[in-house]
Amino acid sequence: MSGKELWEAFIMENNFVECHYETWAFGVEADLLAHLVATGEKTATASAYPLYELENEPLPAIGAYSVILDSKDNAVCIIQTKKVTIVPFYEVSAEHAYKEGEGDKSLDFWREVHEKFFTECLNEAGLKFTPAMKVVCEEFAVVYKQ
């Protein structure tokens, strides 16, 4: 099912008036992360703030909807953003790391994986990772799945 089809089913089932939504997949391990979201194991994500600035993209907004896709662009579920905070990388909390639902859910695991990921993404954009880099921490809830 496409993202558009899942969104249309969601708005019909919930008697929603058409509203804006994003459609996206997690860049690395899209299938695993989409599965963790759909099962409720993953209720948060983090992204590099400098990339929002560089690409002049708006930050995630509380109340915003997103259709989460797998690696083959199949719609997995719809989430709604519940909380957005911006903190330096070194201040991301153990609670946030746990909510990301990855690996052993520890802050050490989160830091190791995300430092590597952010370093690669920033290098591709001609930027450099530092522990003081701002991170966009987003919490969400699944509001619909097939």
pLDDT given for residue 28 in this prediction: 78
* The pLDDT value given to residue 17: 79
Print burial letters for 96-112: b (CB count within 10 Å at least 16), e (below 16). bbbbbbbeeeeeeebee
pTM: 0.92
pLDDT band at 42 (very low <50, low <70, confident <90, very high): very high
Mean pLDDT to the nearest integer, 13-19: 83
Separation of alpha carbons 62 and 84, rounded Å: 7
What's the number of domains the chain is made of?
A: 1
CATH number at residue 7: 3.10.400.10
Parent domain of 116: 3-144
- Output the pLDDT for position 125: 96
Lowest mean pLDDT among 19-23, 81-85, 89-93: 19-23
Q: Report residue 21's pLDDT band, with 50, 70 and 90 as the boundaries.
A: very high
pLDDT band at 51 (very low <50, low <70, confident <90, very high): very high
